[in-house]
Structure 1
Amino acid sequence: MPKKVATLERPPLIHTEEADYLSVNLHVFEIRFRKGTTGYDEIWKDGRQIVANVRWLLEDSGNKQIGIPQSIEWEVIDAYTLRVKRFYTDYLGTDFTVVYDCRSDDRVKVTVEGIVGKSDTYNLVWSGSGITSSSVIHDEDLKRLSCFEEKIDRPDVAFDYEDVYKQLGDITTVEISGSAGARKADFG
């Protein structure tokens, strides 16, 4: 007797190009990828801004930012998947790209690719500031930072760094602080 297999039905991913950003609605939350050299993104849910400023930073051993955001490009993979790329350069031989694979009704997979222009120890930092959720919980065991609004069982958004931790181990750090009435989180 054949087994029944449940099929996941996803709504198609919705993306819209605006003058200064690309909006990607994943049906779980929306990411607004800012165009040009601004180099940051925003996370929205149900018409509320959850995180005002999300960015990736490459820092050298002196904690100096390397690379300036240049532009974004995107390509539709299928009705449910969109790939967004943000390009960075320091004009001295360091070029890197942050690739976001956005899938409808799912998490975003982020990959960083690049070439560094000089030998050094580098730190890759994910920085989110202006986190407006009333509760931010860092679960060190699950390697996840979750942002909750009051009286909601599911987080507005969660940042899962388990795969990074598995590859890099104890060199992964998480810092959470208050910032102008909101919260700030850095993963490095």
Structure 2
Amino acid sequence: RPEFALCDENDVVVVEHESWVLEHLFKAPDTWKVRGLPQSIEWERKYDGWIRVKRFYDDFNGTTFTLIYDIYGGRRIKLTVQGNVAPDNYRLVWKASGINRDLLKENKHYVGVYNEGEEAVVFDYSDVYRAFGDVTAVNTSEWATGKKIDLELYVGLVENRLWLDPNFGYETQGTAGYRVLGIGFDIAGSKFTLSEAGSATSITAYNYGSSTSTTKCAIYDSALNLVGETEENSPLLLDWTTYNFSPSVYLTAGDYWLLLWTSAVTDYWLPYDDGTTN
């Protein structure tokens, strides 16, 4: 399997050796075996601070799949898996060694490694865990401070096709916040790649306004053309708010901007997860 080191934005090594492998449950006796041999790796700089790494696998027996890293600013790595596999029970395993951090934070959405008082480097598998539906458990084994970790995501039975990231965005509440204070008419957004065509019916955001304000969401394509915008809303509680498209917006596969606009002139919050303990 291909392995390479991961560094932060200052080119300091965080993990000396790491790789993702797809394993299937081999019968009689039951044991996990690797499926698919690494064929090639591609690197692409999408935008400043956003690098995409693709690893291509093939077992020459009907299983072809791709592991995709989207690396944002050297601190958050989002995992996507797609391809075609033979029917079987599967798990994904992240094998990392030479971890140059003392502390580990993990849950069913991500694992972060960090030193006390420093921002964590986060490996985000939230879409892998949440979107596929058959992931039954996440297990972390062999953790030793600054040394080694095996992170196991149990996918379950896959009948024919493997596609683990249909979500257009993130679904976790977050522990930190991007705050708009005394500005007004502010826009916050992120870039996303949609791998399959489909229709957008709504956008749900975790946000808060301390005073009455108008908010709405919009989607722009990579050429900065408005594709569609939602109805307006006025969130007053720190909670999920759903913004509906009427009618729904059809999107082809490609790169998009997902934006949230607010007219708040006093205080408005967009929480996000910074991967640290607080």
What TM-score, normalized by structure 2, do the two folds share? 0.45
Q: Does 1:39 align with 2:7?
A: no
Q: 1:131 aligns with which of 76, 90, 99?
A: 99
Please show how residues 28-177 of structure 1 align to structure 2 within 5 Å: 38-45=1-8, 46-62=10-26, 63-104=32-73, 107-116=76-85, 118-138=86-106, 140=107, 143-149=109-115, 151-155=116-120, 157-167=121-131, 168=133, 171-177=136-142
CA gap of 1:179–1:187, structure 2 versus 1, over 3 A, is same
Instruction: State the secondary structure of the residue aligned to 1:121.
Output: strand
CA gap of 1:166–1:54, structure 2 versus 1, over 3 A, is same
- Distance (Å, rounded) in 2 between the aligned partners of 1:47 and 1:103: 14
Q: Contact 2:138–2:152 at 8 Å: present in 1 too?
A: yes
**1:29 corresponds to:** none
Query: Paired residues, what number?
Result: 146
Residue identity (%):
33
**2:216 corresponds to:** none
Q: Contact 1:53–1:128 at 8 Å: present in 2 too?
A: yes
Structure number with higher helix proportion: 1
Can you list the C-alpha shifts for 1:104-141, whole angstroms capped at 9, x where unaligned?
4663332111112x321122222222223112233x3x
Structure number with higher strand proportion: 2
Can you list the C-alpha shifts for 1:18-54, whole angstroms capped at 9, x where unaligned?
xxxxxxxxxxxxxxxxxxxx51232123454221222
Measured on the aligned residues, the alpha-carbon RMSD in Å equals 2.7
Q: Contact 1:129–1:179 at 8 Å: present in 2 too?
A: no
What TM-score, normalized by structure 1, do the two folds share? 0.64
- Distance (Å, rounded) in 2 between the aligned partners of 1:187 and 1:165: 11
Can you list the C-alpha shifts for 1:147-167, whole angstroms capped at 9, x where unaligned?
122x42422x12233333323
Q: Contact 2:57–2:66 at 8 Å: present in 1 too?
A: yes
Q: Contact 2:96–2:150 at 8 Å: present in 1 too?
A: yes
Q: Which runs of 5+ in 2 are unaligned?
A: 27-31, 154-278
Residue type at the aligned position of 2:5: E
**1:13 corresponds to:** none
Q: Contact 2:24–2:34 at 8 Å: present in 1 too?
A: yes
- Distance (Å, rounded) in 2 between the aligned partners of 1:64 and 1:81: 33
- Distance (Å, rounded) in 1 between the aligned partners of 2:146 and 2:74: 30
Residue type at the aligned position of 1:122: Y
1:83 Cα offset (Å) = 2.6
1:88 Cα offset (Å) = 0.8
CA gap of 1:64–1:147, structure 2 versus 1, over 3 A, is same
